[in-house]
Amino acid sequence: MALRTFRDYRDLPEDIRGGAVAIGNFDGVHQGHWAVIGEAGRLGRDLSIPFGVLTFEPHPRSVFQPDYPPFRLTPFHSKAIQIEKLDASFLVATPFDRDFASISAEDFVRDVLVKSLGVRQVVVGYDFVFGRGRTGNHELLARMSNDSGYGLTVVAGVTHGDPAEGGEIYASSRIREYLRAGRPLPAADRLGRWWEISGPVLPGDQRGRRLGFPTANIALNDHLEPALGVYAVRIAVEGENGETWHGGVANLGRRPTFDGKSTLLEVHIFDFDEDIYDRDVRVAFLDFLRPERKFDVLDALKAQIAADCDGARDILANPDYSNDRFPARPGQ
């Protein structure tokens, strides 16, 4: 069943009320989030009630820190795709602004959860906070549950690896740190999939084609900016029959050889020669090859790109970089 998405919590259809609802920002929809959303799914199946997710858009940090650099692991469209893969039947993306942020924690429970969603089961992570001044938490949800008539499940932190051996709790902040350090592999192990940047292919200046390495250009928009440099990637191209995946090498940076200013993702797709301008693509980051640098002569740049292609092909052929390294998602 396709995910039903609602961009407001008010005036929801009656058939999604009375459900099991996982609540959180869920940026990244990583394996820790799987545990929260998966528990709501289990309750929904056991009780034969709707199962969905309540989240907030834009991310609250964007409202309170508007000058903060883009930090999203999964902008809304990407987040919705990942939540749908967890078999949720509906997603409510509550518009978040300063007016919404001023609602007290108690009113959030009464007006959003009880009155609008009619929740029967609420599922949150152990560190979830909400309401004006972030005064709401799972303890307040528990206190209000008796009078409000819903059940509450609080999911403990889930760790990557054995805690006794230095395993760490899954956290979006930690995944961002790995990506900013040019370490997409440990980021992927915590996400449970390769991290991606998605968007339409933009017209470029054709420099890559003149060098013998045509590229598909994608803007970062709201995505986190990881370490600048060259990566081995896979790219999914949208077509008439769905997506097709191809190997490639990508430069993420400001193109210092050509005095570029803005950050751009440029992907050279191996063994591919189609016009894909304006088509949506997804670029999965597998491994970091080298930092971005400036070349004094174009022949040196061409030789380095050729070497980068060889390095990326080696990584793509390595079983450690296949999708088989990741666990199955709950519900699959």
Same domain, 143 and 230: no
27 and 70, same structural domain? yes
Mean pLDDT, the chain, as a whole number? 92
More confident residue, 213 or 105: 105
193 with 136, same domain: the answer is no
Q: Examine the domain organization and report whether 88 and 223 are in the same domain.
A: no
**138 found inside a domain:** yes
Question: Which pLDDT band, with edges at 50, 70 and 90, does 210 fall under?
Answer: low
% of the chain exceeding 70 in pLDDT: 93
- Residue 35: inside a domain, yes or no? yes
Residues 120 and 213 in one domain: no
Same domain, 276 and 152: no
**Domain boundary residue, one of 160, 195, 230:** 160
- Each residue's pLDDT tens digit, 267-283: 999 999 888 999 999 99
Residue 178 within a domain = no
pLDDT tier at 294, thresholds 50, 70, 90? confident
Looking up residue 128, the CATH number of its domain turns out to be: 3.40.50.620
Same domain, 201 and 301: yes
Q: Which of 105, 125, 160 is the last residue of a domain?
A: 160
Residue 247 lies in a domain: yes
Structure tokens at 140: 């307040």
Tell me whether residue 226 is in a domain. Answer: yes
Is 331 within the bounds of a domain?
no
CATH number at residue 241: 2.40.30.30
Cα distance between residue 135 and residue 320, in whole Å: 44
Q: Are residues 279 and 203 in the same domain?
A: yes
Q: Which among 160, 192, 224 is the end of a domain?
A: 160
- Regarding whether 219 and 138 lie in a shared domain, the answer is no
Q: Rounded distance, CA 169 to CA 118, Å?
A: 32
Q: Are residues 84 and 27 in the same domain?
A: yes
Residue 320 is part of which domain span?
183-325
Does the residue 274 lie in any domain? yes
Tell me: the pLDDT tens digits for 142-169?
999 999 999 999 999 999 877 766 789 9
- One domain, residues 74 and 146: yes
Tens digit of each residue's pLDDT (9 = 90 or more) over 160-209? 877 766 789 999 999 999 999 999 999 999 999 999 999 999 987 666 66
Q: What is the number of domains present in the chain?
A: 2
Instruction: With respect to residue 173, please indicate whether it lies within any of the assigned structural domains.
Output: no
